Amino acid sequence: MTANTLPYGWSANVRSDRAPTLAGEGASIHAANWDALDGKYGRFFDGSAYRPDNADSPYHGPGENTPVANFYTPFFESWPIHLLDPNHGFDADGWGGEYWNNLVDNAPETFWNEAPDVIGSLPDSYKEGVRNVVRDWFEHAQAMGWLDTNFQIYLNHKYYYDNCAALWILEECSTAEDFRAVGAFHEIYRQGAALANAPDVNWHWRIDISDRWGQNYGRLDNLINFVVMNDSSTRWHWPNIRYRNTLNSVRERWTWYGTGPAPQDSGLGHIRKFLQAWAQGLDGGVPYWNNYDTSWTDAEPLSIVYSGNDVPGFGRYEGAIASTRMKLMRQAQQIVELLNLLSNRPGWTRERLTQAVLDKYSDGDWDRSFDGLSEADIYRLHSDLIVELAQEDRPSRSMIRLR
């Protein structure tokens, strides 16, 4: 479970401490200085932030010395080169990016009819400059030993957002043109990665999509490897995972997003959803999609971390306070970790273990739901998994035979 915060906004403002300082322009642009990023975030990529001898905040417990699993990088359509750059931006040799930006805001039908195709209208200087900085990031991460964090490239913008320079809907795509644009950018990013001498660095080429996944018409094949779909879509599209990963040479990891149980709801919703997603073949999820843009004090639907100010019965606590919902998510995640451990044991596979869990604990519905799972069932499942993991030589068959 990772808290992942996007380092850029709609107006293309990138946090200075989340990116290297750049030098040059166009085809010559490159990463010039990494001090700010290294000094503030490097500890999370090498695990030293979670060491017992960390002078700032000593830590001892689960995840000790472990780097964070995921981290948004600042790459998007307007970094490291702005999409509307007059010399290196979209259609820089024609009308210019500003012309098309004004048109898509004020006369979108005209834009769609007249705008040049995204693939042919990004100047070579834009492509080369972006490839340079992607390569720089990869090679810097390799040199620093940041090998256990999945660095994510993710396009978050929609042309109709206020003060946004994107010319397409790049998150929750609506049309084939949107998917084509996402694919065009990720192709450039992958080209930059291919130039890097960084074989051990891990990346997520990510897209967040609502309910139109099938409309990419193959434009994203072998480019995207991390798909975040809305909850209602995964309920219908999850059977496609096995076929996508059979056809593509690049394996896709599928996850879901959508608000989790509210503060007044039953905490059982977490384990029920986590189990269903795991049984469907998904690799994770984003239950609370925007839990930092909250009051930090009230039990709002998206607040899972609270301020340490005015803690009832305590006063002031120097730090953030994990909500009960976060702890319930941790309980659910721990069971998923046991499932993953067992699925990798000799005699087991994920499909075999999935069927065993479905036979004993699911509702028996086609969407592999666990809505009837009780609190007692959670502890029974936990015990079942511990017993199976304790088998030294071969898996016992008790869990499969029980109904």
How far apart are the C-alpha atoms of 104 and 114, rounded to whole Å?
A: 10
Helix, strand, coil share (%) of the chain residues, nearest 5 = 40, 10, 50
Phi, psi at 219, each rounded to 5°: -65, -25
pLDDT of residue 397: 55
Q: Residue 368 — very low, low, confident or very high, per pLDDT cuts 50/70/90? A: very high
How far apart are the C-alpha atoms of 140 and 151, rounded to whole Å?
A: 12
pLDDT digits (tens, 9 = 90+) for 318-356: 778 888 999 999 999 999 999 999 999 998 999 999 999
pLDDT of residue 401: 43
| DSSP designation for 66 | P
pLDDT digits (tens, 9 = 90+) for 42-68: 999 999 999 999 988 899 988 899 999
How far apart are the C-alpha atoms of 336 and 375, rounded to whole Å?
A: 16
| DSSP designation for 23 | E
Per the CB < 8 A criterion, the answer to whether 149 and 71 are in contact is yes
pLDDT of residue 217: 80
Question: Averaged over 57-81, what is the pLDDT?
Answer: 94
How far apart are the C-alpha atoms of 16 and 5, rounded to whole Å?
A: 14
pTM score, two decimals? 0.91
Question: Averaged over 232-236, what is the pLDDT?
Answer: 84
Domain borders along the chain are: 1-224
Neighbouring CB atoms inside 10 A of 255's CB total 18
> What residues are paired with 210 via a beta bridge?
none
